[in-house]
Chains A and B, each alone.
Chain A
Amino acid sequence: MSDRKLENTLSPIYPKIKRITALISKFIQFIILGVLIWMYSYFDWPTWIYWVLIGLIVLNVFMTIWSIFEPHYYYRSWSYQFDEEYLQLSYGIFQKEWVTVPMTKIQSVTTTQGPIMKRYQIRSISVETVGSSHVIPALEEEVAFSLREKLAEFAKLKEVGE
């Protein structure tokens, strides 16, 4: 019962994109750490900095391995659905979240696209509400646009007394 799925899923390309972005950022982090290690030996920094850096490198290695597997599980955990009244989102690997947002409380809808997402024609949608903001991380372009239009249309309604 607690595993109830919502109607729609993310774009199946999502894990691939996520993996690419994660690997790029991890690569940059490794370069920065390498530079820091070099600076440590060059400038004669105190020893504890060395241990901190080694710790960070070890941590980063594990994170890199995890970032190869994580997108798959995260993709499987994600689902969403919407009707005239509510937008529902469900996601999370270790901590599963089910969010319900009334359409009348949505304030703005934004789609964004980074360079890698552009290559695969994927967009993410972020929904700003009175109380918070939520991001649907990856949808095919046409799905994203139609969702954006629909959300904007449903969100036009306002409640009495606001």
Chain B
Amino acid sequence: MMRYHPLTMLYRLFHLLKNSLFIIIILFVVNHDSDMWMMKYGRYIFIVVIIMMIFNIIVSWFVEKYEWKEKVFYIHKGIFVKETSTIPFSRIQNITRKTEIFHKIFGLTSLTFETAMDGLDDSIHFKVITKKHADELIDLIKVEKDIVSENDETNELNDGEMIEQVNTKNTKLTKERTLHFTPRQKDLWKASFTSLSFLAIIPIIAGGFEYVQPFLEDRYELEGVVQTFLDSSWIIGVVITFAVIISVCFGIATTFIRYGKYEISSDTTHIYIERGVLNESYFSIEKNKIQGLEIQQTVLKRLFGLAEVKIISSAKAGEEDGKVNVNSLYPFLPLQEAYELIEEILPNYQIHDQLEKLPRVALFLKLIRPSWFWLLATVALIYFKPSFLFLSWWALSLILLFIIVINRVLDYFHTRYILEGDQVQWWKGGLTSRMFITKRKNVVEMSYSQSRLQKRFQVSSVTTINRSTPIHMETIQDIPLPYALSIQDWYYKRSEDVEVI
């Protein structure tokens, strides 16, 4: 049995401090001599909680242990209630390795094995681990897994020597990775404008201000300052200009830091994504665990000809890494390159660009379908009569209606679909359009439906469900009924693709 790296304690302390920094400032700095009951008792409670958490961090280091025996991980934890989870290597779906600044200082890294089990605590986190040990563990799992899968395939040979040979060959093979994508300077510049991440600073400032305000006792004074600010318009002008310049720089900097160093590579069985300048991370996923793919284009990205490629898999999406979704291959790929990348990485996917269009009646149908959202919003507008940007309620309602109509018309033009072999592919969506592609064997459920209106025009909607967490549901609306039925028939031939045991 092994304990985690001792610096795990320091790492968790560091995070505890980081997360409670704001409360500390509120309780002990801003309001350090306030006698308000909330502040007074808040301080005591805070200290007690912090002491308990520090105690917990130290004790749990002593009780949390891990070990592996014959392709199975055993994770022990729990201070009062002992708990052991068992995770077979074969269940591990993807491997994430992240090197935050903390790790960089000590020359260490972190490692996460994610599984596709339905349990609650189903991933293994090594918050702090030496690089060497991380490599060992990754190799351990990969080699063992390869042997397992090879054994499956060569079982009928029943020849020990034969299997061994195949194994060594296979492990060598998996080492050969091909690099598929790494961003160029030009892409990054485009990306920093399409991502609009520079606008992120505005809500941060506004939110921060609003969050802090109630805790500041002399808020009237502060409002006075704001008022004088607003009174002199040229100061506002200068402030706004500065804010824009700062936020643009901020946006470009974050984009370069986040997506500057980025490598997508793959071998026969896995896809690897390595990224990050300050916080490095490594992510790998097994190819046959991929349930489908998605390409997403927002309006801005479409203008720049860029798109985001996402993997649909049952791995939990961006659980602890909110900034970059682990399921996203790269958010700013030129569309054509995105297609090529998918075909290179996953050769069994063929992306078509000649797809079927919707019949003309679909446009009519999309336009006459009542918009409940618009109706409700209009009722709310009439009732509350808000004054937003000096527009009256009917103008706001009309603007909303206009956006909805534009969205529907765009949806009509974007909707395209094709069924070929064991693969279904479609585009849809208005302002933000999305492409979805999957294989028949990965569709776990299929349905089609028809409303009265759709029945009149002989069209219908098709819905597919794919495994993911939570499940991935896709619906394409208003395709001609015969095509929907052919998709249904196509789905009945699913047994051709799957092997049943």
Contacts and interface: CB of A to CB of B under 8 A. Distances in A.
A130 B471 contact: yes
Contact of A98 (B448, B494, B500): B448
Contacts of A129: 444-445
Nearest to A129: B445
B383 to A, nearest CB: 11
Interface in A81-129: 85-86, 92, 94-102, 104-105, 129
B485 A1 contact: yes
A57 to B, nearest CB: 20
B229 to A, nearest CB: 41
A85 B495 contact: yes
A92 B488 contact: no
Contact of B492 (A100, A104, A161): A100
Main secondary structure of the interface of B (DSSP, over half): mixed
Contacts of B458: 2
A76 interface: no
B447 A98 contact: yes
A100 B445 contact: yes
Interface stretch (A5-13, A32-40, A152-160): A152-160
Contacts of B488: 98, 100
B445 A159 contact: no
Contacts of B449: 92, 95-98
A67 B501 CA distance: 46
A114 to B, nearest CB: 27
Interface residue tally on A, bucketed by range: 20 to 34
B447 A97 contact: yes
Nearest to A131: B465
Interface string B12-51: 0000000000000000000000000000000000000000
A100 B484 CA distance: 13
Contacts of B365: none
Contacts of A159: 441, 498-501
A125 to B, nearest CB: 17
Interface in B429-453: 441, 444-452
A100 B498 contact: no
A161 B465 contact: no
Contact of A94 (B444, B451, B481, B491): B451
Interface in B449-475: 449-452, 455, 458, 460, 465-467, 471, 473
B445 A101 contact: yes
Contacts of A104: 498, 500
A95 B495 CA distance: 29
A159 B495 CA distance: 10
A132 B288 contact: no
A85 B491 CA distance: 11
Contacts of A101: 445
Interface in A50-94: 85-86, 92, 94
Given A2-B455, A132-B465, A102 B450 contact: no
Nearest to A92: B449
Nearest to B472: A131
Given A94-B451, A99-B447, A100-B446, A131 B492 contact: no
Given A1-B481, A1-B485, A160-B501, A131 B444 contact: yes
Nearest to A160: B499
A54 B411 CA distance: 40
A157 B444 contact: no
Nearest to B497: A159
Nearest to A105: B444
B379 to A, nearest CB: 13
Nearest to A87: B445
Contacts of A105: 444-445
Nearest to A97: B449
A105 B449 CA distance: 21
B494 A102 contact: yes
Given A97-B447, A157-B500, A130 B467 contact: yes
20 contacts: A1-B481, A2-B458, A85-B495, A94-B451, A95-B450, A95-B452, A96-B449, A96-B451, A96-B455, A98-B488, A99-B445, A100-B488, A100-B492, A130-B465, A130-B471, A131-B444, A131-B465, A158-B501, A159-B498, A160-B498
Interface of B: 288, 441, 444-452, 455, 458, 460, 465-467, 471, 473, 481, 485, 488, 491-492, 494-495, 498-501
In the A-B complex, list the 3 residue pairs whose CB atoms are closest, starting with the nearest.
A131-B465, A99-B447, A160-B499
Given A98-B448, A102-B444, A159-B499, 20 more contacts: A1-B481, A2-B458, A2-B460, A94-B452, A95-B450, A96-B449, A97-B447, A97-B449, A100-B447, A100-B491, A104-B498, A104-B500, A129-B444, A130-B445, A131-B444, A131-B445, A157-B500, A158-B500, A160-B498, A161-B499
